[in-house]
Structure 1
């Protein structure tokens, strides 16, 4: 069981939601009475055509019952620009800073006493990095918000709430308001209590995508056909004994070695337990006997040396934590990883590198395309 980190008084004293009980009360209301819950927020905004009571939300997630649709505040009309700017100016905030951004290049050289919340996006943060972030940057006082979201969800759907919910290093936490996560097994049966399965959502929330432009059939096929009645994220997740949700990675990133199914996140978490490793990424490649074998990329901490001693230590660590069947076939030094600008690792490119296949396709979304050439150059022969 992972250690629980409670929100500090430093965070709680200025939090809008300042207890776990209050969060649970509000989350329950957001599911049982969405109109009452969300109308309190909607009423803060300007509406050219107000929404009508009783026509607040309607939806169908079940492809067996007809076309999938999601409708919120049907018939209402607003102006996003007016709400974002003009409304605030009229309310007397025209000369106030809306958002202040500062990059802390070296935390110990800056006054960070005012920090209360630290965020992490992209890949799930591993426990070791979480503890470094919490202790060094946050001085053990700040809440860390390690959110799970997709472009399609329109915002975070799993998150810890600063001042309200406790935290576990590496966990995405709890569902955001209006979000009802469910874990399903391969047959579409809900998993109750602790367990691991497909991460799906049973109902819509205001930010969810409504369709794919010009291709609603694809929208239904990709997100709703596998498990009718649920929005399928394509990710796996685990619920622990305390109800915390841990995102284990894309379902298509699952590793099947000698009949044993593992998530990439599981192996990567073990590799980063080694003090010399700062980050890791794992993919599979075909193996004539085992079906698939593990091909690992590791980024080292400053001063660490990539040599046979490190490789042997990492393989031994994986055997001890997971099992002999999971021992990596290849561990490659990586000066960096191919990531999108939002921090997500493009594993399809890593799989190409593992195979030695230079036909990697489109790389326009990479933050640093040059890292791909470097990985090919450093690939073991």
Structure 2
């Protein structure tokens, strides 16, 4: 199969010279040691951190085989520590107290601030004392529903300082979703904000929370307190000061006396000293809910010591972080990427990061590139969805700004198609940056497949090789290992420190979901292929695989072919029943700005797929999509597309979509051949 994915790009010589891992030979030696002597490998890394009690005997133990007893993963079980102490106090002891921990960049370019490690510790201690004053103790759950503001980081670390477990719900989820998660984790307190601007859209978060709190109460759980950050009021006051005579917009935040509390009022009298609560290595740190195949979200539970080691190590090596670098991950903290690579990983390395509340398109389509220039970003981490969305505006928005500070570009969230990879590499990275196309999950806690800057020769679209401590295998449907080149289920045969330990309150579901299909392996649910040189290419969820006339296809593979067309900005593919083939391809296409969607374009796209993959893969339906249904974090909601393909208007909850109106537009745009196909089935 020809195309850009066959090209190999070698690390820039300047990166190689200073890289933590500077050759494939060094990588292979380190990777082998991490698998053969994990106690030594991770034990040396553990020496960088403070342990109130050290490991006495076994550094780790596990059972992945459901037939041999309960699934169990434990690292440094006898040790005790506090992750907040390691992220803040230890770095301050090292002389980093006055170093900027976060530059905060708001939705409006005029809204920005910064916080040092010393000041962040003061805020964290004060809010930890606030939580304690309301009865929050070690092991209690604190729900968080907030925008990308510094108080979100403060709340997370305050929980970890006193041994409480935080459960963050992305601030774009509906009231029903928030209520369900608070009820499931039995949250004691909810921390939120009055509202937030996303682009030019105002979201009243407190009103969503009030609905969720009522729903949670009706299904059997009362959240005791709701602490509210007056984010909108602060922004209004700040703009009023900048523009004398300006009247801030009036919005009265709903308030329930006795339950609701203002953040600022609570912080006023709180002490800025809070002694850390030492917790056992396997005590829970946080839970984060992720989608389940049954529809009920799964409360993925991560514990303390192993997660600390893995977040710190992946951040250091995957982004090749060095003191003095400025790093920016665009992810919302409501997702696992934000947990590990906005908060825990960077702070564990004493890094300076940018925390961004805005969108890539507000107030203009060059906002990302403007921020990179403003803070002289060295390490940049974003999603393929964002890259493709920005590509359609052409090269000019990028060229307006100085990208010369960049050294490493990261990709996360889904496989990146080679064309987006090349645009990212050539235009944004100016042909000199390493690109780290990372594969991992909420459940893995951190990167499991990834290139390393200065080390790994890069192939556009490939996640390349496993990180330290990770041993991947490809299995066929019968659980047989596929040796050499081939394609199958992506599984892992050994644990790494940062992986999930269970699903909160449901260990049986944990075992069934991840370990039952292939006993002895953690099953990711994703497919992958290995090429002749051992590179791994993630092909997408196995439930996003199609069997077309006996040929196994991944939707990612077809999408990659479609977006190679120069007139296509984005593409999404879903399966559709077919009377003869069993399944066929139903494709949604968003053209570049100014491009007319025509029968000629459709014919060219079908030809492109036939040429790229084979005649059997030719799309049955190609539908014009003015936009794709995306969550506010940028992920395509494929279940909505499946409903559109089947002309089924029962699409379920769409409150997390960035633009709910796109759903009706998609139904209205269904082409005649879609109805014919459905009738034939």
Same fold (TM over 0.5): yes
Equivalent residue, structure 2, for 1:138: 429
SS in structure 1 at match of 2:18: coil
State which drifts further: 19-28 or 97-106: 97-106
Q: 1:216 aligns with which of 507, 512, 524?
A: 507
* Deviation per residue, 1:244-293 (Å, 9 max, x gap): 10000110111122222211112111111211112211101112222212
TM-score (norm 2): 0.54
- Would the aligned equivalents of 1:123 and 1:345 in 2 still touch at CA under 8 Å? no
Change (3 A) 1:365 1:84: farther
What CA distance in whole angstroms lies between the structure 2 residues aligned with 1:302 and 1:356? 27
Equivalent residue, structure 2, for 1:81: 84
Q: 2:43 aligns with which of 33, 39, 43?
A: 39
Q: 1:257 aligns with which of 548, 563, 567?
A: 548
Q: 2:62 aligns with which of 59, 64, 70?
A: 59
Q: 2:94 aligns with which of 91, 94, 97?
A: 91
State which drifts further: 344-353 or 364-373: 364-373
Which has the higher Rg, Structure 1 or Structure 2? 2
Q: Does 1:23 align with 2:33?
A: no
Q: 2:451 aligns with which of 146, 151, 160?
A: 160
SS in structure 2 at match of 1:174: coil
- Would the aligned equivalents of 1:199 and 1:233 in 2 still touch at CA under 8 Å? yes
Q: Does 1:379 align with 2:670?
A: yes
Equivalent residue, structure 1, for 2:369: 104
SS in structure 2 at match of 1:282: strand
CA-CA distance at 1:10 after TM superposition: 2.5
Equivalent residue, structure 2, for 1:122: 413
How many residues were matched structurally? 380
What CA distance in whole angstroms lies between the structure 2 residues aligned with 1:110 and 1:12? 26
Q: Which has the higher helix share?
A: 2
CA-CA distance at 1:341 after TM superposition: 4.5
Q: 1:312 aligns with which of 598, 603, 610?
A: 603
Cα RMSD of the aligned pairs, angstroms, is 1.6
Q: 1:71 aligns with which of 74, 78, 95?
A: 74
CA-CA distance at 1:322 after TM superposition: 2.4
CA-CA distance at 1:343 after TM superposition: 3.7
What CA distance in whole angstroms lies between the structure 1 residues aligned with 2:401 and 2:658? 27
What CA distance in whole angstroms lies between the structure 1 residues aligned with 2:492 and 2:80? 27
Equivalent residue, structure 1, for 2:191: none
- Would the aligned equivalents of 1:159 and 1:172 in 2 still touch at CA under 8 Å? yes
Unaligned 5+ runs, structure 1: none
Where do 1:349-368 residues align within 5 Å?
A: 349-368=640-659
What CA distance in whole angstroms lies between the structure 2 residues aligned with 1:297 and 1:316? 16
Change (3 A) 1:364 1:216: farther
SS in structure 1 at match of 2:671: coil
- Would the aligned equivalents of 1:294 and 1:327 in 2 still touch at CA under 8 Å? yes
What CA distance in whole angstroms lies between the structure 2 residues aligned with 1:200 and 1:84? 32
SS in structure 1 at match of 2:79: coil
CA-CA distance at 1:372 after TM superposition: 2.6
State which drifts further: 116-125 or 357-366: 357-366
CA-CA distance at 1:368 after TM superposition: 4.0
- Would the aligned equivalents of 1:121 and 1:343 in 2 still touch at CA under 8 Å? no
Equivalent residue, structure 1, for 2:225: none
Equivalent residue, structure 1, for 2:636: 345
Unaligned 5+ runs, structure 2: 102-351, 357-367, 371-396, 673-681
Equivalent residue, structure 1, for 2:589: 298
* Deviation per residue, 1:333-357 (Å, 9 max, x gap): 2232223444433222211111111
Q: Does 1:147 align with 2:438?
A: yes
* Deviation per residue, 1:54-95 (Å, 9 max, x gap): 311100000111111101110211111111111111110011
- Would the aligned equivalents of 1:271 and 1:314 in 2 still touch at CA under 8 Å? yes
Change (3 A) 1:43 1:240: same
Change (3 A) 1:335 1:86: farther
